Each structure stands twice: as structure tokens, then as C-alpha cells.
Amino acid sequence: MLAASLSDAVAQDIEPRSFSNAPVGVNFLIGGYAYTRGGLAFDSATQITNPQLTTRSAVAGYARVLDLWGMSGKFDAIIPYTWLSGTADFGGAQVERVVDGLMDPRFRLSVNFYGAPALRLPHFRHYQQDLIVGASLQVSVPVGQYDETRIVNLGTNRWFFKPELGISKALGPWTLEGAVAATVYTDNKDFYNGHTRSQKPIYSTQAHLIYGFDSGVWASLDATYFAGGRTTLDGVRGDDLQKNWRLGATLALPVDIHNSIKFFASSGVSARTGNNYDLIGVAWQYRWGGGL
């Protein structure tokens, strides 16, 4: 979740084990930090070129495992706070932007339709994953920092809705995962001094190869591809169709029954629009409830 540094970056999220099963009633409290560096794509009509931005993001998150009519599910909420700085070329001159504040929070409800029944801890101890099929819906609420007189902002001044369908297949200590999603945006009707910015949906897919060690440590190699997202500014179509690849890796280390630490990194491999950045981060997770 920390990978989303600006408005279009949400499609670049890489999240392994998002459809894994867990005991009903378990809660997760998450705190993390991520650093990104690189360029973000802008509408061609804004005359922004050569953006070079860095972000430092702190995030607080909460999740709870649910029993949804006998199927395991999960609700999660993410609230990021970001410090952004950098430069870009605008109208033939270099301009600078330094800002910090809340980004748009996100809320998601997930459910596993097949292969991951809702189980309390005593029964979950005997559960062995085979094939899991699940789906989720994530919503972004536009309450983050936003200044209509600036092109670069932390908030987006628009909603997005992201339905996703995922599968997870266990093969001994290995797990193969895949997911497809579509991110649908509402219009930003107050973009840069009252203009209207619209965006077509971004379609994305991600894949993960995960290895679980007997000690509880797990590691994954991750990849995502996303396309679409062409924008219009006051009805003028931009030359910003996205066709981008990212690769990443994740390492999770258990500390004890309640605590774990996760390290993650990703980088752009190719980007049609120049929407490309490097990411590195760490997250701490505390879990409780559900009989732990």
C-alpha cells in the first residue's frame, strides 16, 4: 500500500498474500515507512515535463479477519502521511514543490469465495491451503491534502473504486498467486484553478512467487503490469496512455506470536509515460485477538 505515492500510482501496488487465510477475529495493527524516488507522469496539456520527485511516507493501518457467511474475509484501512519534494519543468522553467500532509485514506473489504473457510483458531491450526479464490473492493476517500492552485498534490480530490479478483495456489512450501483489477476514477472538477480532469480506468494484473520457511519466514518475488488510464483535461485528451511494468521483492520476518517485520522494494522496468519510480520500505505488524 505504501507504493501509492501520487494519484496514478495506485495501480502499481504490489501486495503478496492479500488473499491468504487467517483465523476469524484476529486484528492487525500496522505501522510502516516507505521512500520513493523518480518521475510521475502528468497530462500533456499541463506542460509539466521531467518531474523528479521524492516522497517519504509514514502509514498507519488496521485490519480484522471476518466471518462472512461461512467464508473468510477481511476489512482493512490505510491512512498515509507523506512528505514530498522535488522539481519539474513547467512553461520552460524549473519549478519546485515541497509539501507534506495526509494522503487519501483507503478502505477495503475482501472475501474468499473458495478454499478458505472462516475458521476460529482451534480449527485453523489444522487448516492446510490448497487453492483459494477471492475478491475485494477498495475505495479511496478524497480527504487528503489538496491545493487547487497546484498541479502536484498529495490528495487527489476525487474518489476511486478498485474491484479485484485473485487466486492463490499452494504447492508444498511454494505459493503461486495472481490477481486482476480495474481502478475506476471519478472526475476531479477543481484541477489546477478550476479545470476538470477525467481519467479512464486503469487495468492491472500482478503475480507473486512465494516461499514459506519452516521458521515462519516467507519471501516473494513480485511483478505487476498495468495499462490504460488515459486522461482528459477540459475534454482535451492527453497523450498519457499507460503501459507499465514493475518488479519487486518482499521479505517477512516473524518476531514472536504477536509481532512481525516486513521489508519490501520495487522498481519500474518499463514505462510508456515516464511514470516510473523506485520504492523501498519497512513495515511492522502487531496482531491480537481471535484466541492468540
Domain-embedded: residue 272: yes
- Does residue 180 belong to any structural domain of this protein? yes
> What pTM does this model have?
0.90
Residue 276 has pLDDT above 90, yes or no: no
Residue 195 located in a structural domain? yes
> At which residue does the C-alpha cell 484501512 appear?
77
What pLDDT does residue 271 have? 66
Looking at residue 196, its pLDDT comes to 94
- Rounded to an integer, what distance in angstroms lies between the CA atom of residue 48 and that of residue 97? 13
CATH code of the domain containing 108: 2.40.128.130
In terms of residue numbers, what domain contains 267? Answer: 7-288
Say what the pLDDT of residue 39 is.
66
pLDDT tens digits for 13-46?
A: 788 999 999 999 999 999 999 998 876 555 444 5
Q: Take residue 182 and report the three cell numbers written for it.
A: 480495474
Residue 164 to residue 144: CA distance in whole angstroms: 24
Q: Into how many domains does the chain fold?
A: 1
User: Binning pLDDT at 50, 70 and 90, where does residue 3 land?
Assistant: very low
On whether residue 87 sits in a domain, the answer given is: yes
Does residue 242 lie in a domain region?
A: yes
- At 45 the pLDDT is 47
**What percent of the chain shows pLDDT beyond 90?**
69
- Average model confidence (pLDDT) across the chain: 89
Give me the sheet containing 231-233, strands edge to edge.
188-191, 195-199, 231-233, 236-237
Range among 30-44, 224-238, 262-276 rated most confident: 224-238
Asked if the structure places residue 278 within a domain, the reply is yes
Of the candidates 150, 154, 129, the residue with the CA atom closest to the CA atom of residue 19: 129
Residue 14 three-state SS: coil
Residue 1 lies inside a defined structural domain of this protein: no
Residue 284 has pLDDT above 90, yes or no: yes
Q: What is the model's pLDDT at position 273?
A: 64
**Which one has a higher pLDDT value, 240 or 236?**
236
Distance CA 71, CA 229 (A): 33
212: closest CA among 175, 182, 259? 175
The answer as to whether 2 is a domain residue is: no
What pLDDT shows up at residue 6?
38
Once rounded to an integer, what is the mean pLDDT over residues 273-286?
A: 85
Reported as a single tens digit per residue, the pLDDT across 65-107 is: 999 999 999 999 999 999 999 887 776 778 888 999 999 999 9
What confidence tens digit (pLDDT) does each residue in 148-206 have?
Answer: 998 888 999 999 999 999 999 999 999 999 999 999 999 999 998 899 999 999 999 99
